[in-house]
Amino acid sequence: MQNLKKIIIKRYNNIKILEKYKQYSFSGLKKIELKLINKFVKKNSKILDVACGSGRVLLVLAKKHDVYGIDISKKMVFLTRQNLIKRKLKAKLEVMDACSLKYKNKSFDCVLFLGNGFEQIPEKMNRIKALEEIFRVLKQNGIFILTTQSALFPDFKIWVLLFFQYVKYHLFKKIKEFEFGDLILKDITDVYIHISNPFFIKKRLKHIGFNLIKIVSEKNKKFPYFTKGLIYYVARKQSIKRFKRL
């Protein structure tokens, strides 16, 4: 297994991290998430929560929808399962990689990829694969809501950090999958995160066949791309997938 994927799996199977997520499980949806879901997701939808973690999002949605959740960490899935039992709720959970979904084409009305899950997929080709997989499992006119951090946030310190980490991990430590935009930080364990360029995300979503219907950020309403907080992309599956590579 590649080095970066090992870091991710090790983190989300770590007992202290699981304890932290256990406390976070019932914190509910953020205002902006609730607003977007209420606006774009119909009642009784069949929803897939990708990288569901300990179930923060899924536990709210399971009350009104037919919910499915996947996560790459076995222990996170176990934790969500326990949380569902505690609240007497139902959802179908599986350990699965977002880059290779085991669902049939056109299975879901809505797919959610919220709260830094997408940022934890190493390598551009894998992030593209995950977006293509989500497109595939969505029904025609299905809704996809994605969050990412923004590499365009004008913070000199972050740009310097990105540069030094690239030199350190890619060039010196020879982790060949470490790309510019990747960071390895410390929070109990190592945390891997990729800071995305929102122009790339937008272009890629469109190329795959999504119609972007809304882009908003929590902190910068006027210029959502230049935010320190998360960017929310709401996209609709509209066309047949084009196969031409960018």
Ligand X SMILES: C[S@@+](CC[C@H](N)C(=O)[O-])C[C@H]1O[C@@H](n2cnc3c(N)ncnc32)[C@H](O)[C@@H]1O
Question: Which residues sit at the interface with ligand X, rule CB under 6 A?
Answer: 8, 12, 51-53, 56-57, 70-73, 76, 97-99, 114-117, 120-121
**Cα 42 to Cα 65: distance, rounded to the nearest angstrom:** 9
Please give the C-alpha separations between residue 140 and each of 24, 94, 134, 145, in angstroms, as whole numbers: 34, 24, 12, 15
Least gap, CB of 49 to ligand X (angstroms): 7
Instruction: Compute the CA torsion angle 156, 162, 164, 166 (nearest 10 deg).
Output: -160
Least gap, CB of 238 to ligand X (angstroms): 25
CA proximity to 91, closest of 113, 61, 114, 111: 61
Q: Looking at beta carbons only, is 20 or 242 nearer to ligand X?
A: 20
Least gap, CB of 155 to ligand X (angstroms): 21
Q: Looking at beta carbons only, is 37 or 72 nearer to ligand X?
A: 72
* 51 φ, ψ (degrees, to nearest 5): 60, 55
CA proximity to 177, closest of 61, 1, 4: 4
Q: Looking at beta carbons only, is 94 or 155 nearer to ligand X?
A: 94
Shortest Cβ contact with ligand X: which residue?
115
Q: Looking at beta carbons only, is 89 or 99 nearer to ligand X?
A: 99
